[in-house]
Chain A
């Protein structure tokens, strides 16, 4: 039985201050939930940079290469056909399709990677503690799991940052 403690702010500036305050106290923050991406929060929470751009790059590389090679294969090995007197390997003609495939595969590989990585997707059921989080509540969630403090200590610490309506629940996991 590990307890989860959470509270919210109504102003993102208060949230940022609270995060800093808690971190100064050495309290680990389980999650912060906000209605929109708050500037500076990533840095405050010391989140690692996302790998998604790399996924997109690799996806684009694969898409473009496959697209280009497919076209080259079709026109030189598959069935070389004489179109309007052009050479079989008419590379400039292959640019548009190659480009489109690069973008398509890059975008979709990144999109899918995002969903998988974030465990989002159709049918995914989130653990929502406060519905107002998607409205105007900036929520901080602390967990007993990765802190050495007791439940009440966490509640106190959170309340001390000025968080409103600090609650705790006992989560199963």
Chain B
């Protein structure tokens, strides 16, 4: 060894060895002592600055191989496993990307029959839930740790005692769609004489009731938005939160794909009170108060019935305020008989009966509304409370449900659970209900589980674990098996269920083991469809009309409870990614608020952020253009406190305002007033300005205009292209030239791309305070502008990420050459070269560059300066990081890279295999997650690539193209069907 490198040995000389039995135990000790000596001496002068700055501690690093290398793991390469995501409000088939034994990303499973196109934002963010530090670390009894065996023994003993004593045993779960679990629960119920009840935080039992009454089937039908020429939605947020939004988004977008062969755009009417995501995408949005929904449906039915020669149902229901506008709706519906779809987002069975009547009149049943693949979801009812509240149950087992938080009668439920001699919570995270229970049995996250799912009838999929259990947890099913004394492993239980029930559904595999392996590989199995026809009971319509007629006119303000697309029913608060993702309509993160109409606000003198009191909630007000005057919209799912760290407690719990009506929970109630408290709190609003100021940012046209001229609304593009000239020779891109096209007509604003980007690119969470200070870090954002009068504006959206301009203004101004142009047309950003002058950000006309204002990631060299309100820089949550993307340190600029790590990976695969790269093979995270296929990425040098084709579309334009920045991102104009 040469003399100069002796310093690696000096370690021992300075560190008295405490226990030489662990000779390598002190690897954190820093070795290059003589260098550091040297630096101390050079503490002054310019040279020292250079030295100190580039001096990083150089620890003796260990390279520890596997003891036995698992065959399926190649260090440095990702493996993908098929699995399924199911949470209280949605389902998605996914591929789990696993690097070195850790799931790091969820991607859509293209083989899925339900969600092949993309995922929702919540699915994307769910990977973080696995690494949640707030999860239960082990089983608990009365808050104290206990071991599984003694807990099991005690519970079995008590259950048997209670069963023998004839006390009822209740098992409360959310809707369970797993066929194996259902079978298991049935067995369990039999063994202990237990009663199983399903409970949904936001129920759809009213829909099922209506279907039972009208069609004679207690089911949620499937909807075919792709077949509908005219969609009329009355307060139904089917693109955001209703039933199966990922599936519906894809169907919906497929009818907004405009090209010469398909000039037919569907027409979407949205009649609603609060501005929902779906409403903001509608071709025509009709503003109506929430209390008018019944009248509106009745009006539509009667008008249609008259037109179609059905008898109108006589009643004294007054005509709604928007009757004139509804006449157009009715006309359009009548014109697209059999190809239209009417839906309503209200759980009132009477309303749904009328909706069914309308669809029946329009002959939509069997066409756009089908009963073949009905949803197994939302099986909950209000019956579950009967036993719990009235029969003095002996044991209450609550599995993943949180009624104490999300039921309006939470006090009664709380008392009942506390009264029960035995209460068991099976949950992964602490919540309001598990707090009350005697026993807590932690369950693993869904990425650690074996399970299966039958979301839609006949479409069965599996869930398989992708990492070892992080905590001492056990699946609920395993617990049930254990308590029943069944020694079968849960995995085997599922497999045998599949083999006995689904093996015959296919004929490719003859061996059951091969069959199972194949299922695990594909993730899903689709059985055959049996045509189902339903009867129709007209008499129910009359009943429904009568009950609507008896509705009392609404008093004061009506409060409508909505679901936030990110937060959902209340699971979101524990996921900081979801909290930080701004609502696509209001662009507010980290809070819920009461949306009020601008006219109301002016009347009451309320501005954004004024704290108001309504009902018994004290909540900031938000002035929402397009809000109905007498309706206040408040999102549920906020105000979770139990088991939620202080930093993540946001908003107020609005579930308490839900009301029970004829045994159905309704998410609206009237008779409220607004009271100003005089307090004010700024909300984390990421977009302060709502108007485009007449600038050609989002360009749009109507369908009629487009039919006349495909470049309608985009005349400017031609003009700018015409002026395209340059003083000097442009750079040539001799190989690839990456580009992206975004169809504004397809983008619904669901934010799946934002969350996919978060996951893929290790984007830090900065917290509410920082978002308020405009320090958010998202690389892709979805701008939303209002157009027209504030009472009911039109909404346009535009996803904006780095435009990768060929004449990038940011590149010219970086003094240290940290950002420049790659030979493939990428605007590249070298974080390690960046010194953080922010000049590039100032000079970016799109403002897509993000600066690490504080040490959000903990990767800074300076100690004790971390700013991480969401605790995502602890060791456990850090495991989610994508190892292929640098975690940026404090003080550097970052921005969208077109997922360059994916470009590299796919290029390399093609190179190694010696074949050209295929178009569509390479997808950035945003494109991959987008359920509506609005984003297309590819090689612009390839004239046949999809992106090149889209760039040639007359609808294509570049954002701020008049600046001659030559972006690589193109936008396709938004076309509204207003004919």
Chain A residues with CB under 8 Å of chain B are 81-87
- Which residues does chain A contribute within 8 Å of B731, judged by CB atoms? 82, 85
24 CB contacts below 8 A, A to B, read A81-B817, A81-B820, A81-B821, A82-B731, A82-B820, A82-B821, A82-B822, A83-B812, A83-B817, A83-B820, A83-B821, A84-B805, A84-B807, A84-B808, A84-B812, A84-B821, A85-B730, A85-B807, A85-B808, A85-B821, A85-B966, A86-B728, A86-B812, A87-B729
B809 touches A84 (CB 8 A): yes
Whole-angstrom CA separation of A82 from B805 in the bound complex: 12
B806 within 8 A of A: yes
Within 8 Å of chain A (Cβ to Cβ): is B811? yes
Q: Give the distance in Å from the alpha carbon of A112 to the alpha carbon of B248 in the complex.
A: 79
User: How distant is the Cα of A170 from the Cα of B728 in the complex, in angstroms?
Assistant: 76
CA distance A59 to B610 in the complex (A): 68
Cβ of B927 to closest chain A Cβ, rounded Å = 25
- Residues of chain A with a CB closer than 8 A to B730's CB: 85
Instruction: Give, as a whole number of angstroms, the nearest-CB distance from A73 to chain B.
Output: 15
Which residue of chain A has its CB nearest to the CB of B812? A84
Q: Which residues of B lie under 8 Å from residue A84 when comparing CB positions?
A: 805, 807-812, 821
List the A side residues contacting B807 at CB < 8 Å. Answer: 84-85
| CA distance in complex: A84, B805 (Å) | 8
Residues of B within 8 A of A85 (CB): 730-731, 805-808, 821, 966
List chain B residues, Cβ under 8 A from A81: 817, 820-821
B contacts with A: majority SS: loop
Q: Min CB distance, B967 to chain A, in Å?
A: 12
How far, in Å, is B825 (CB) from chain A's closest CB?
A: 10
CA of A59 to CA of B807 in the docked complex: distance in angstroms? 38
Give CA–CA (A85, B805) in the complex, Å.
9
Bound complex: CA A86 to CA B966 (Å): 13
Nearest CB on A from B735, distance (A): 14
A residues within 8 A CB of B823?
82
Taking A82-B820, A84-B812 as given, write out 19 further A-B residue pairs in contact, using a Cβ cutoff of 8 Å, ordered by the A residue number.
Answer: A82-B811, A82-B822, A82-B823, A83-B814, A83-B820, A84-B805, A84-B807, A84-B809, A84-B810, A84-B811, A84-B821, A85-B730, A85-B807, A85-B808, A85-B966, A86-B728, A86-B812, A87-B728, A87-B729
> Across the interface, which residues of A come within 8 angstroms of B810, CB to CB?
84
B930 CB to closest chain A CB (Å) equals 29
Interface residues on B, range: 10 to 19
- When chains A and B are docked, how far (Å) is the Cα of A85 from the Cα of B728? 9
A121 to chain B, nearest CB (A): 22
CB-nearest residue of chain A to B964: A85
Task: Give every chain A residue within 8 A of B820 (Cβ-Cβ).
Answer: 81-83
Q: Name the A residues within 8 Å of B728 (CB-CB).
A: 86-87
Taking the closest CB of chain A, its distance from the CB of B535, in whole angstroms, is 68
A49 to B821, CA, bound (A): 55
- CB proximity to A under 8 Å, residues B19-49: none
Interface of A is mostly: loop
A110 to chain B, nearest CB (A): 25
Within the complex, the shortest CB–CB distance from A103 to chain B, in Å, comes to 20
Given the complex, which residues of A lie within 8 Å of B822, measured CB to CB? 82
Residue of B nearest to A79 (CB): B817
Q: Which B residues form the contact surface with A (CB < 8 A)?
A: 728-731, 805-812, 814, 817, 820-823, 966
Complex CA gap A38/B405 in Å reads 95
Q: How far is the CA of A86 from the CA of B814 in the complex (A)?
A: 14
Give, as a whole number of angstroms, the nearest-CB distance from B436 to chain A.
62
Tell me the minimal C-beta distance from A42 to chain B in angstroms. 42
**Cα separation A87 to B727 with both chains bound (whole Å):** 10
Distance to closest chain B CB from A100 (angstroms): 14
A115 to B586, CA, bound (A): 70
The docked-state distance in angstroms from the alpha carbon of A19 to that of B690 is 85
Smallest beta-carbon distance A85→chain B, Å? 4
The docked-state distance in angstroms from the alpha carbon of A84 to that of B814 is 10
Which residues of A have CB within 8 Å of B809? 84
Alpha-carbon separation in the docked complex, A116 to B817 (Å): 40
Minimum CB–CB distance from A68 to chain B (whole Å) comes to 19
CB distance from A86 to the nearest CB of B (A): 7
Chain A residue with Cβ nearest B823: A82
B966 nearest CB neighbor, chain A only:
A85
Q: How far is the CA of A87 from the CA of B823 in the complex (A)?
A: 14
**A87 CB contacts on chain B under 8 angstroms:** 728-729
Question: How many whole Å from B832's CB to the nearest CB in chain A?
Answer: 16
A74: nearest residue on chain B (CB-CB)? B817
A82–B731 CA distance with the chains assembled, in angstroms = 8
Closest chain B residue to A88, Cβ basis: B731
Cβ–Cβ contact B811 & A83, under 8 A? yes
The interface residues of chain B lying within 8 Å CB-to-CB of A82 are 731, 811, 820-823
Expressed in whole angstroms, the Cα–Cα distance for A108 and B395 within the complex equals 92
Within the complex, the shortest CB–CB distance from B972 to chain A, in Å, comes to 24
The 4 closest A-B pairs by CB, nearest first: A82-B821, A85-B807, A84-B812, A84-B811
B382 to chain A, nearest CB (A): 63
Q: Name the residue among A81, A82, A87 with the largest chain B CB count within 10 angstroms.
A: A82
State A82–B820 Cα separation when bound (angstroms): 6
Q: How far is the CB of B206 from chain A (nearest CB, A)?
A: 59
Q: How far is the CA of A83 from the CA of B820 in the complex (A)?
A: 5
Among A83, A85, A86, the one with the most B-chain Cβ atoms within 10 Å of its Cβ is A85
Taken together as a complex, chains A and B put the C-alpha atoms of A81 and B811 apart, in Å, by 10
Which chain A residues border B805 with CB–CB below 8 Å? 84-85
- List of A residues within 8 angstroms of B814 by Cβ: 83
CB proximity of B20 to chain A, nearest CB, Å: 50
Nearest A residue to B819, CB-CB: A83
A78 to chain B, nearest CB (A): 11
Measured CB to CB, the closest approach of chain A to B576, in angstroms, equals 36
Question: Cα distance A82–B812 when bound, in Å?
Answer: 9
- In Å, the complex CA distance between A81 and B806 comes to 13
A residues near B729, Cβ cutoff 8 Å: 87
Q: Looking across the interface, which residue of chain A has its beta carbon closest to that of B727?
A: A87
Please report the C-alpha to C-alpha distance between residue A81 and residue B728 in the assembled complex, in whole angstroms. Answer: 16
Chain A residues with CB under 8 A of B817 = 81, 83
A83 CA to B843 CA in the complex, in Å?
A: 14
Distance of B969 from chain A, by nearest CB (Å): 16
Residue of B nearest to A85 (CB): B807
- A residues in contact with B808, CB < 8 Å: 84-85
**B residues within 8 A CB of A86?**
728, 812
Closest to B729 in A: A87
Of all chain A residues, the one with the shortest Cβ separation from B726 is A85
- In the assembled complex, the CB of A69 is this many whole angstroms from the nearest CB of chain B, namely 19
CA A86 – CA B809 in complex, angstroms? 10
Residues in B whose Cβ lies below 8 Å from that of A83: 811-812, 814, 817, 820-821
Most buried by B among A82, A84, A86: A84
Residues of A near B806 (CB, < 8 A) are: 85
- Nearest chain-A residue to B820 (Cβ)? A81
Looking across the interface, which residue of chain B has its beta carbon closest to that of A82?
B821
> In the complex, how many angstroms separate the beta carbon of A151 from the nearest chain B beta carbon?
54
Complexed CA–CA distance, A86 and B812 (Å) = 8
Q: How far is the CB of B185 from chain A (nearest CB, A)?
A: 63
Chain B nearest CB: distance from A127 CB in Å?
37
In Å, the complex CA distance between A65 and B731 comes to 28
CB distance from B846 to the nearest CB of A (A): 14
| Interchain nearest-CB distance for B45 vs A (Å) | 19
In the assembled complex, the CB of B500 is this many whole angstroms from the nearest CB of chain A, namely: 63
B964 to chain A, nearest CB (A): 9
Q: Nearest-CB distance from A132 to chain B (Å)? A: 42
